Amino acid sequence: MPRFRVVTKHQISGWRFLFRRIEHALVRRDASMLDDPQRGRSTALSLGVVLACLLVAGAAVLSFFKPAKQIGDAHIIAEQGSGALFVHLGGRLFPALNLTSARLIVGAAENPVQVSQDELAKYPRGPVVGIPGAPGSIVQPSAKDSSWAVCDTTKVGAAAPVDQDTGLPTTRISPTRVTVIGSALVDNAAIRPLADGEARLLREGSTTWLVYPDHEHGVVRASINLGESAVTMALGIDATAPVLPASAGLVDSIMEAPPLRVPDVPGAGQTTTLSSGQTVTVGSVLTVATVDRGAAYYLVSQSGVVQINSVLAAMIRNADSHGSVATTTVDPDVIATNLRPGGWPGTASYPAAAVHILDPERFGTTCYHWSRGSADPNAATRLLVGRQLPLAVEDQNLAVPLVTGSGPRGRTADAAYLGRDTGRYVRVTGADPASPLRESLFWISDSGVRYGIERKIDAKSASDDPTLTALGLRDPVLAPWSIVSLFAVGPDLSQQDARIQHDGIATDKAAAGLNVGQP
């Protein structure tokens, strides 16, 4: 009976070497074994087997911890290859036009579950659902501050639009490009705020407006008749002062002040006696020397005297000086005993001093800026003038052209810029910086389109409103309607509209062709 004998490590190594040598002699007809290519092959085979085992083990582990996605109870589905969206309702898949519509249908701000085409093939299909033209995605912005601007970039002088047939300037082509901005602005050497004492003359339609800083409202516009010399002389405006064409969007955004004109004084030209016994003419201007060696001006009315500023005093005297070369100087006590409280009606916002009209050829861009911080009780407004939009250099050409741009008589902007966010969630307020209005809700996308958001009337908060819950929106920032209205009009976002089924969708009549080359 054979017996097992103990062998040593060297015997085993020698046996293996002898086996390889015999194999080498048979394959290569050489037993010298100066090289051993067979060993490299066996090593590669061994490594391949090891790697294959590792891959199989890794796939097994991955399938355990991350199995292939199945539709299951998911409501919003996306096909892995194409990204096509579906809504899973009642065991049926409904193709969705966009993610916003899908979220409105399911009533929750869910993200799509990625599944394979084979998994989709297991379910029956339904008609297309959703809101045509709704935004592809809505994400609650993190910014709490609100900043909005409308800018006119006007072509003047040699840059003005010219009729190709006559070679003369034409109004058939709008000289003004309107850009609406929904992000923080950048002040630099190319654009700056309007300084005190500066003003801009704008013409929109048949009306000329003087736009100037105001201590209460930031900046205001007041209509002015440049043919009324009594007014223009008092304001220091020359008859040849340059007037810049302006869009209705820019003009309507600026707070309107009473027209700049000589006020009517009842009983002007009649005489009245002050309490001191002095007889003065109604409608004349009295002067009192102040302690700082200046002068204060007062308008005589039938019931007393009213304090006015130097510009208003000059307007009144330019219109009718009542035969006096200079104003009548009286003692301060005379004014004190005859002073009426308040100012002259309708003149509180008149400029306090003569203004300097900016040259349009040096400052061809005009922007109205409305901003409000999250902790500010009121908004702040200002006018910016310069040579370019108040954006960073690298962002100057990032404004999105709007298909329904304004044209010469339009009411929407030509382009829109909202930075690199997906959009802004806003509640409309009034143009007045202290406006108490809190009106409609809108989502403004980064493509420059505003979407009205249907809200439940009796909802006390965003969590109580099914539409806002579905969109994942809360805490809107305020924005003036005068600027919001300049964005292109998109469809309203509501659950009812999102649930509408479509066999086909009609062509947008306001659309325009894509005027760029192939990718």
Return the axis-axis angle of helices 37-65 and 9-28, rounded to nearest 10°. 110
Do 459 and 500 lie in one domain? The reply is no
E-strand ranges in 448-516 read 449-452, 477-480, 488-489, 501-502
Do 386 and 480 lie in one domain? The reply is yes
CATH code of the domain covering residue 109: 3.30.2390.20
**269/175: higher pLDDT:** 269
3-state DSSP assignment of residue 102 = helix
User: 108 Cβ partners below 8 Å, 6+ apart?
Assistant: 75, 469, 470
What is the pLDDT, as a whole number, of residue 356?
A: 95
> What's the rounded mean pLDDT across residues 309-316?
94
For 455-471, the pLDDT digits (tens) are 877 666 666 789 999 99
Do 318 and 194 lie in one domain? The reply is no
Q: Is residue 13 part of a domain?
A: no
Q: Is residue 10 part of a domain?
A: no
What is the pLDDT, as a whole number, of residue 23?
A: 77
Which run of H or of E encompasses 235?
helix 229-235
Residue among 392, 414, 400, 393 at smallest CA distance from 155: 414
Residue 29 near residue 21, CB atoms below 8 Å: no
CATH code of the domain covering residue 302: 2.40.50.910
What is the pLDDT, as a whole number, of residue 170?
A: 45
Q: Is residue 192 part of a domain?
A: yes
For 226-244, the pLDDT digits (tens) are 999 999 999 999 888 889 9
Residue 369 near residue 383, CB atoms below 8 Å: yes
- Strand ranges across the sheet with 488-489: 477-480, 423-429, 441-445, 449-452, 488-489
> What's the rounded mean pLDDT across residues 81-100?
91
For 257-299, the pLDDT digits (tens) are 999 999 999 988 898 888 888 889 999 999 999 888 889 999 9
Q: Is residue 519 part of a domain?
A: no
Do 205 and 237 lie in one domain? The reply is yes
Do 216 and 325 lie in one domain? The reply is no
Q: Is residue 219 part of a domain?
A: yes
Do 367 and 432 lie in one domain? The reply is yes
The strand pairing partners of 318, in sequence order, are none
Q: Is residue 234 part of a domain?
A: yes
Do 314 and 394 lie in one domain? The reply is no
Residue 424 near residue 182, CB atoms below 8 Å: yes
Count CB neighbours of 102 within 10 A. Answer: 28
What is the pLDDT, as a whole number, of residue 172?
A: 43
> What's the rounded mean pLDDT across residues 127-146?
90
Do 377 and 466 lie in one domain? The reply is yes
Do 361 and 468 lie in one domain? The reply is yes
pLDDT at 341 exceeding the cut of 60: yes
* Token pair of 131 as six digits: 């809101």
Do 83 and 148 lie in one domain? The reply is no
**21/321: higher pLDDT:** 321
Residue with tokens 């004190």: 336
pLDDT at 501 exceeding the cut of 50: yes
Residue among 479, 501, 244, 261 at smallest CA distance from 370: 479
Do 177 and 128 lie in one domain? The reply is no
Residue with tokens 């302006």: 246
For 479-492, the pLDDT digits (tens) are 999 999 999 999 99
d(CA 236, CA 313): 13
Query: Phi then psi for 322, rounded to 5 degrees?
Result: 55, 35
d(CA 159, CA 165): 17
Do 380 and 468 lie in one domain? The reply is yes
Quote the domain boundaries for residue 327.
Answer: 271-338
3-state DSSP assignment of residue 336 = helix
Q: Is residue 52 part of a domain?
A: no
Q: Is residue 347 part of a domain?
A: no
Residue 252 near residue 210, CB atoms below 8 Å: no
> pLDDT tier at 171 (50, 70, 90 boundaries)?
very low
Mean of per-residue pLDDT scores for the chain: 86
Count CB neighbours of 371 within 10 A. Answer: 18
Domain count of the fold of the chain: 3
